[in-house]
Structures are given as structure tokens and as C-alpha cells.
Structure 1
Amino acid sequence: MPQRTVLVVLFDGVQSLDVSGPVEVFAGAEQHTPGTYRVRTASLDGGPVRTSSGLTLVPDTSLADAPGPHTLLVPGGQGTRDPDTRLTDWVRAHGPRARRLVSVCTGAILLAEAGLLDGRRVTTHWAYCDKLARDHPAVEVDPAPIFVRDGQVSTSAGVTSGIDLALALVEEDLGRPAALAVARHLVVFLRRPGNQDQFSAQLAAQTARREPLRDVQQWITEHPADDLSVESLAARARLSPRHFARAFRAETGMTPGRYVDRVRLEHARRLLEDTGDGVEEISRSSGYGTPEAMRRAFVKALGAAPAEYRRRFRPVPVR
């Protein structure tokens, strides 16, 4: 098996976790299967860079002297907002030569500035999706998933999603057992699927201002199998169904039904990933009632039936 060089681009204002997370994954894979990865870091002149958190990183070499990479990884951080034109020029010239082009967080902005994302579906940190789409209309920006793979280009959302993407690449290169071993060593999940939302239902929805509505949000999360009809939830909030539905949407940004759907889906996904419970049991405890109802919800939202989702995405075998 040929050794793959992973070159990580460093610059002032880089986000340290965007660098260290994927580097730990590839380094861990090399320790598990020696001779598979050679990780190198490089800055414009080969000198140290100061991260956005104040840490100093010392690269292995300069970009001019860097080895030709199999995987070129561009992290994000404040330094991508107004990048050095020399850095953009280097990425523009060398990015297409890599077998894989990877960005973490706002590293996608740097790739877009270099013209390497035109016509591709990509993602980035949720706070910068609108900017990326506005500044680069030829790029198809999807703000929902934690990472997106489009041909040789892979882009990930904020910070820790770079670990998820790196694990997916290791799984592609070396197989699931190797990626699972790395994930276990790092004590992280193998692996959050790329189509998982950047936000859970609780984060995607705004927290309601009024206490009765906040209590209802919490109740939904803790009791997904209960009667969560608008009428039942309205009674809990001591509001009429019409007033409750209007107030819930105004204060959270989504309808009660949409919120309930997301909570139930997340609950079922966690049980599929983390337990050995059967699909029928999970469908009941998640509020779907029947396996068929849960199957329809999974296929609609995730493109995979529950059994297939568990086969592909459960992080560790249940013993």
C-alpha cells in the first residue's frame, strides 16, 4: 500500500483545532497501520505561525519546499478572512495537483478564493455559509451537513467536524477497522455521517423567551414517545392550540411538528448508534409507534433505512 502524504497548510490566524484534529487522526492511522500516512505541515516561508487562540505552531517546511501531497488539507480560522495573496496563489496553483483537496471550517473560503470550488457542492461553518454563497455564487453551499464530499474535494463544517471528515477519509483508505481503532483511541464517535446536521434540534431551534414554551421544548426532548400533538403540547403550556403553534414558531423559528420530528429522529439515531436495541423497540421509544413509520422518516431525512443507518454509522459494536 503506497504511503499518502497529507500536507496541512498553516498561516497566521489559523484555528488550532482545525489543524490538530485531523492531524491526530492521520497520525493515529499511521501508528495503527505503519507506512500509510506521512503528515507534514507548511507555512508560506516555513516560519512559525500564531493561531487564532494564541498558540504558536512550528511547521515542518515552507510551502515552496513542501512535498507534493496526496491530500492537501486547508484549515480555517481568522486568517482565511483576508488571506495573504501569496497563500491564495499557492493554493490555486497546487490544489488541483493533489489527489484529494480537503478543507476544515472556513478553509473552504480560502479554496473558493482560489477558484477551486466553482460548480461544487460544499459546506463550511454555519456562521459563514451565507458569506461563502454570497461572495462565490458559482459555489453550491449546503449549510446543513457536517461535511460534504464532491469528487476529489471534501469540505467540513466547524472545528470538530474536521475530525469526522478525517475519519471518513481513513475509513475509505484503510477500511473501517483502522478508522474505528483511531476513533476509539481519540475517544470520539466513528463516525458522524456527513449528512448529520451541524445543529441538533435544540441548537437549530432558538430557545423560546417565555418559560412555558421553554418547558415544552425540554419536555419534548425528554419524552419523545409521549403524545406530542399540538393540542397536548398547548395544554402543557396552558395556551390554546392556535396561540401555542403561532407563539412556538415565532420564538423558536420552527413549527412544533418540525421540532418534534427532529427530536424523535435524533433520539432514534442515538439509540441505533449506541445501543443494541431492536428497531421495533427503538421505534416505540422514539415516538414513531411502528418500524415502518420510523423507516419512512429515516429514508426521507437521511436517505437510509434504520438497519442500513446502523450498519454504516454505529460507532462501536455493542457488547
Structure 2
Amino acid sequence: MEKFKFPHAQTVTAVFVIPPRVHLLDMSGPAHIFYEAMDYGAPLTLAFTSVYAQRGEETSSSGLAFAQLQNFEMLALREGDLVFVPGLESHHLTDEDFYASIQPFLHWLSAQHTRGVKICSVCTGAFIVAEAGLFNGRQTTTHWKFQHVLKQRYPKANVLTNRLFVFQDNLYSSAGVASGIDMGLFLLEELYGTRFAAAVAREVVIYLRRGQDDPQLSIFLQYRNHIDDRVHSVQEWLSHNLDKKHTADQLAERIHTSGRNLTRLFKDTTGITIGQYVEKLRVEHALQLLRGNQKVETVAHACGLQSTNQLRTLLKKHSGALPSDLMS
């Protein structure tokens, strides 16, 4: 398995909160994404805690028990760390006694956000984050069944509908189990880049989905929602070797087939041609480099283009912008 290296990245702690009667997949889905990220070399540490400081055990809604949970008051988090708050059984969502019992946790959660920690709710975990006051004047979402309840209980929160996940001011929220995994992949993309997130998504055979109103999906993650290892292999090579020339026959040799068969296979699998895919890769890579104030000549070379005129033509075609428009 490919290992990524992050020699200058600080270790990020991802805390997974286990409220009483937690929805198992709301927690284990994102947790597994971050476990796989660790396995790929990301400098991560995972921690698990209850909403009660002194409670070391909790039981999920499906009956599976958790033990050896850490005291959240003992966790020393830093700016850039993450706290995931998963969903729980619906009877807790409007239970005043429950919220009264977790006031220390709510104060701790608010303090972590002030410190620069990213707070991430999954499904109805948004209610706990909202109870801490963190969604006041900010965007959030939750499971479609409970959006109206969230709006009624927390009228200061800007509850968005028909969204897989949303984020604002270091607050992330997702609509349900699967979108919690999507959100986890998006957070990995923010931390370690699109290629790393794509590698993790491929490892768990999950494709990062985004809603129409969410940020546009990176080309390094698009066209990867398939399970054909041969095409994945070609896509990986192309994304890492944009500055190198290639032919369909040369690419086909990598997966022990003919150029003609690869051309057909690639189009059938992704819906676009190899040439169209490479062009999209070049555009996004060029945009990233230009926004980083790289020289136009350097960007053209890094994208495998023969001249800066080719780069200008490509960008004008796909983004309607010229290199000078993108450099700060």
C-alpha cells in the first residue's frame, strides 16, 4: 500500500464523542476514515470520549458497548484538531434533563471551538453542538427528519436543507451516516490534499459526494467512483505525472492491455476520454499553482504544456480566466 509522507505536518488529534445511545455508524464511519488515513501515513491520533467526564463506558443504540473512554477534561487539544459529535437516539434531542446533565461537556465543546478546534457534527449530533450555542448565526444541517425540530429548538441557527454537509467558521455538520463519511474525506482533503483523500476513499471503496451547493469536487476525486483497479491505476499515474508525455499504448502497458482496449475501458468506466481527463487534471493543477503565485512558465511546464500560450488557451477555455487573473 502506498504510504504518504508529511515530514513538516503537526500531529492532529481527532476526538470521537460517544453520547449515550450513540448511532453506531455515525461514529464508526468517520472514525474508520481517519484510521485508514493513519494507515496511509497521516500524522493523526484518535481519541474517544463520553459526554460525561468521569464515564468510561457507553452503549450504542444497537447495543454494542464502548469501554475505556477518555475523560474529555484531560484532552489537551490544539488549533486544527477535530472533535466529532455523532448522532444519538431521537428521544434525547429535546430532553432538557439530558442537556442539563451534559453542561460541563457543552462548555468544554465551546471552549475547544474558541481555541481553534474544528467541531464536526454527524446527523443529529448537530443538536448537541447547537445546544452549546455554536450554531447561533451560523450554517448547519442534520438528518432530514429532524431539520424542522432543529430549526424550532434553535431559531438562531441557519439550518440548511438538501445538503450533504456544510461548514462555516470551523464548524462542520453533515446530514447523516454516509454524509458523515463524506465530511471526513473532505476534512482529510483540507488537511492533506486531494490526492491523499482520493487514496483513502479508494481504500474503503467510498466515493466522496457533494451536493450542488457545496464546494465543487476536485478533479483529483472526480471520476473515481468506480472499482476498476486498472483504470484507477492509470488515473493515479496521470495525476502524478502531468509533466510527462504519454501515449495510450504506453499507459496501456501499465495495466497489461492494448491502447485500444484502454481507450474503450477508460471511457466506459469514467464517462470521459483519457484526453478529456488529462485536460481537466491540467486545468486544476494549473489553478492551484497559479493561486500559489508560481511563475506562468513553471506552471505550463508542470502541467505538461509546451508553452505559456497553451496554458492561457486551456485556462480560457475551461475557466474563462487568464493566468494573470488568478495570481495574487
Query: Does TM-score exceed 0.5, indicating one fold?
Result: yes
Which of 55, 69, 77 matches 2:64?
A: 55
Query: In structure 2, do the counterparts of structure 1 residues 196 and 62 end up closer, same or farther at CA, with 3 Å as the change threshold?
Result: same
Q: Offset at 1:174?
A: 0.5
Q: Offset at 1:196?
A: 7.0
Find the counterpart in structure 2 of residue 193 from structure 1: 210
CA distance in structure 2 between the partners assigned to 1:113 and 1:273 by the alignment: 48
TM-score, normalised by the number of residues in structure 2? 0.58
CA distance in structure 2 between the partners assigned to 1:158 and 1:31 by the alignment: 25
Q: Runs of 4+ in structure 1 displaced over 6 angstroms?
A: none
- Aligned pair count reads 206
CA distance in structure 1 between the partners assigned to 2:151 and 2:268 by the alignment: 33
Find the counterpart in structure 1 of residue 108 from structure 2: 93
CA distance in structure 2 between the partners assigned to 1:100 and 1:60 by the alignment: 20
Q: Does 1:135 align with 2:135?
A: no
Which of 182, 195, 200 matches 1:164?
A: 182
Residue type of the alignment partner of 1:61: Q
Residue type of the alignment partner of 1:192: R
Q: Does 1:25 align with 2:33?
A: yes
Residue type of the alignment partner of 1:57: F
Contact 1:72 1:101 survives alignment (8 Å): yes
CA distance in structure 1 between the partners assigned to 2:34 and 2:272 by the alignment: 33
> Which 5+ residue runs of structure 1 have no aligned equivalent?
198-271, 279-306, 309-319
Query: In structure 2, do the counterparts of structure 1 residues 88 and 195 end up closer, same or farther at CA, with 3 Å as the change threshold?
Result: farther
Equivalent position SS for 2:177: coil
Q: Offset at 1:194?
A: 4.5
Q: Does 1:41 align with 2:48?
A: yes
Contact 1:103 1:155 survives alignment (8 Å): yes
Equivalent position SS for 1:61: coil
> Which 5+ residue runs of structure 2 have no aligned equivalent?
1-8, 215-266, 274-317, 320-328
- Describe how 1:1-319 pairs up with structure 2 within 5 A: 1-34=9-42, 36-43=43-50, 44=52, 45-68=54-77, 70-78=81-89, 80-81=92-93, 82=95, 83-95=98-110, 96=113, 97-189=115-207, 191-195=208-212, 275-277=270-272
Residue type of the alignment partner of 2:146: Y
CA distance in structure 1 between the partners assigned to 2:269 and 2:144 by the alignment: 27
Q: Deviations over 1:194-233 (max 9, x none)?
A: 4479xxxxxxxxxxxxxxxxxxxxxxxxxxxxxxxxxxxx
CA distance in structure 1 between the partners assigned to 2:150 and 2:269 by the alignment: 35
Residue type of the alignment partner of 1:135: R
- Give the alignment's Cα RMSD to 1 decimal: 2.6
Q: Offset at 1:178?
A: 1.2
CA distance in structure 1 between the partners assigned to 2:213 and 2:268 by the alignment: 13
CA distance in structure 1 between the partners assigned to 2:21 and 2:109 by the alignment: 21
Q: Offset at 1:47?
A: 1.7
